[in-house]
Amino acid sequence: MRSLNRFRLITFDVTNTLLQFRTSPGKQYGEIGALFGARCDNNDLAKNYKANWYKMNRDYPNFGVDTSPRLEWQQWWRQLIAGTFAESGAAIPDEKLDNFVSHLLELYKTTICWQPCNGSVELLQQLRKHNLADKQLKVGVIANFDPRLDALLRNTKLDRYLDFALNSYTAKAEKPQLAIFQRAMEDSKLANLKPAECLHIGDGPTTDYLGAKEAGWHAALVHEKSYSYLSKKYGTDIKRNHVFPSLYDFHKKLTDDAVVW
């Protein structure tokens, strides 16, 4: 792990980096929908969830925090969930919608919906040991997420390995914007911290890897696609030796001192 000695701040993305869904939102929504009398095909739900996710992010970016008038993040999810079911042929009646949305939002704070990604807990444990030996290292999370992030990290017991967690709604900035990386540096409370002393690890080629690099940070990309696919799609600013199929693989290479920044 010697190659990490140059860093004073290491941050992670959450979805598909530290944590992943146990089942797809389409299937999970279908199971909960059935409890509320809304029965529809899970494949339709999956397709319409994805379409509504893109539509809401286009029309009301960052869970509506900057829209005018401001959309509360709970309302953002209410619109997404209502649209997903209506377009799947099973509209949730108005009198049931608030309870249904509330139930789903609570559920997605828990281990019923989330599980650790391959190697995430082990790497965090190792960093915590490193951290205890060297008080100069801070470990955090930067996620395009709503304010449920803190509860999710508590419920999955990842919070014990972290010094802070920054969600984009509270920060009023999303990755890959520079402002959220600067806010993370502030939240670390490390004096005279420089961007070159920071490392961000995530699965988003644009949001995580290129966003961090643009902020002057170092970056590692955790992605199942091949380097040739990623470099064709996102450009050669993504470095071959900083792409890893999983955090398990990244941790192994770090332990073998096979990662050069």
Q: Which tens digits make up the pLDDT trace of 27-59?
A: 889 988 888 888 888 899 999 999 999 999 999
CATH level 3 topology of 25-108: DNA polymerase; domain 1 (1.10.150)
- Give CATH 1.10.150.720 domain extents, the chain: 25-108
The pLDDT assigned to 25 comes to 86
Apex CA 24: angle with CA 21 and CA 25, to 5°? 95
Average pLDDT, the chain: 94
Confidence band, pLDDT 50/70/90 cuts, at residue 212: very high
pLDDT score of 163: 95
Spatial contact of 60 and 33, defined as CB atoms under 8 Å apart: no
Give CA separation, 203 vs 60, 64, 85, 247, in Å: 23, 23, 28, 10
- Rounded to the nearest 5°, which phi and psi values hold at 15? -65, 125
CA dist., res. 212 & res. 78, Å (int): 31
pLDDT at 159: 98
Q: What pLDDT is stored for residue 143 in this prediction?
A: 98
CATH superfamily of 2-21+114-256: HAD superfamily/HAD-like (3.40.50.1000)
Do 191 and 210 meet the contact criterion of CB atoms below 8 Å apart? Answer: no
DSSP SS3 for 19: strand
Q: DSSP strand E in the chain: where?
A: 9-12, 19-21, 114-116, 138-143, 164-167, 198-202, 218-222, 243-244
What pTM, to 2 d.p., does this model score? Answer: 0.94
What gap in Å lies between CA 9 and CA 144, rounded to an integer? 19
Contacts of 73 (CB under 8 A, 6+ apart): 63, 64, 65, 146, 147, 169
Exposed, middle or buried by CB within 10 Å (0-12, 13-18, 19+), for 166?
A: buried
Q: Yes or no: say if 208 and 181 are a contact pair by the CB < 8 Å rule.
A: no
Q: Which residues pair with 164 in a beta bridge?
A: 140
Q: Which is more confident, 202 or 32?
A: 202
79-132 pLDDT per residue, tens? 999 999 999 999 898 889 999 999 999 999 999 999 999 999 999 999 998 766
Confidence band, pLDDT 50/70/90 cuts, at residue 133: low
Checking if the pLDDT of 135 tops 70, the result is: no
- Alpha carbon 179 to its chain's center: 17
Residue 58: Cβ within 10 Å count: 8
**Are 182 and 215 in contact, with CB atoms under 8 Å apart?**
yes
146-200 confidence digits (pLDDT tens): 999 999 999 999 999 999 999 999 999 999 999 999 999 999 999 999 999 999 9
Please, where in the chain does CATH 3.40.50.1000 lie?
2-21+114-256
**Which residues have C-beta within 8 Å of that of residue 82, sequence separation ≥ 6?**
91, 92, 97, 101
What mean pLDDT comes out for the span 210-214?
A: 97
Does residue 15 or residue 131 have the better pLDDT? 15
